[in-house]
Amino acid sequence: MLTRPRRNRKSQAIRDLVQETHVTTDDLVFPLFLLESPKGKIEVSSMPGINRLGLDLMLLEIEECLTLGIKAFDIFPVVDERHKDRMATNATVPDFFYLRALREIKKQFPEACIMTDVAMDPYSSDGHDGIVDENGRILNDETLEVLAEMALAQAETGIDIIGPSDMMDGRVGYLREGLDRNGFEEVSIMSYTAKYASAFYGPFRDALDSAPKSGDKKTYQMNPANRQEARIEADLDTAEGADFLMVKPALSYLDVIKQIKEEYSLPLAAYNVSGEYAMVAAAAEKGWLDKRAIMNEMLLSIKRAGADIILTYFAKEFALNAKK
């Protein structure tokens, strides 16, 4: 035998030399759920280890994560049912707790990269990402106006990246124009480019209590069977001025991540979603899987497939682990 691949695996030092893919805290974005009550702390029952936090505790959490090397956060509001309506009005009220909290977070941690979500669902009494008409249809173009106002209200707080997760047609260009017209040329857009209609979002909808009241999201989120269609979305997002593309979920869509990475030049993010976290956390609680080892292997697989950036609920745990 001339070639013995095992020679390059014979010690940790050699394995480290030939390791092709690395995950570091530089790659990670930590999604956080914000409660209205400043001192609130409520665990997400379907995501053991993940808490919804009020502003006071979230500031402490961000501070701790920054010391661990996590520099980017994606913040979602948990909106009380009585503050929801058909038009997601509170998404644009400057005094609403979410926008107030964003201002405070940026004031205290100007160096942190803060990302926000643009979609109507957390504030919508229908639990959909767009406006629902009397026949249950999701209105595309009318929704764009709401999204653009939402993006402006968020940009005004000083945040760094807007994340349109709604999957309405034309929204990246519409948001870009609206932001630029109002002097927010520096606010970035990380587009949820290929966002699939996935059952893996279940625990997130528990966290926000944002599940659709009727119907599903299949007329706007993509069919999990389709890979070619991701190109149509990536072409549009690129042409409309996105700064980052994203594939979501991550683990069942590694082929899509690989394809988009190979065919497009924009930085690519993958969202390691709530259900992907929940499966591991639940199995670990039962003692069936080693949570840390699985976390590392999963994050590595997402990176190896081609993601430059990973949004993941494991971010803090990964950072704590990396410190040791």
Residues that bind ligand PBG (CB under 6 A): 117, 119, 121, 129, 165-166, 201, 204-205, 217, 273-274
Q: How far is CA 3 from CA 181, 263, 291, in A?
A: 61, 33, 35
Smallest CA-to-CA distance from 221 within 200, 207, 238 is with 200
Nearer to ligand PBG, 182 or 252 (CB): 252
Give min distance, CB of 269 to ligand PBG, in A. Answer: 12
- In whole angstroms, give the CA distance from residue 107 to residue 33: 19
Which one of 71, 84, 106, 195 is the catalytic residue? 195
Give min distance, CB of 144 to ligand PBG, in A. Answer: 15
Give min distance, CB of 7 to ligand PBG, in A. Answer: 42
Nearer to ligand PBG, 73 or 201 (CB): 201
What sign results for the dihedral spanned by CA atoms 296, 297, 300, 306?
Answer: negative
Longest dimension (CA), the chain: 72
Which one of 84, 217, 248, 316 is the catalytic residue? 248
Identify any residues that bridge with 29 across adjacent strands, giving them in sequence order. 72, 311
Neighbours of 211 (CB within 10 A): 15
Active site residue 248: yes
**CB-based contact 275:203 (threshold 8 Å):** yes
Contacts of 102 (CB under 8 A, 6+ apart): 75, 114, 116, 154, 157, 158, 159
Nearer to ligand PBG, 129 or 160 (CB): 129
Nearer to ligand PBG, 27 or 121 (CB): 121
Chain position carrying tokens 């609130």: 40
Give min distance, CB of 171 to ligand PBG, in A. Answer: 12
Which secondary-structure segment (H or E) carries 56?
A: helix 55-68
Contacts of 104 (CB under 8 A, 6+ apart): 55, 59
Give min distance, CB of 204 to ligand PBG, in A. Answer: 3
Smallest CA-to-CA distance from 37 within 52, 25, 16, 22 is with 52
Give min distance, CB of 217 to ligand PBG, in A. Answer: 6
Contacts of 38 (CB under 8 A, 6+ apart): 54, 55, 56
Nearer to ligand PBG, 38 or 294 (CB): 294
Nearer to ligand PBG, 97 or 201 (CB): 201
Active site residue 39: no
Active site residues: 195, 248
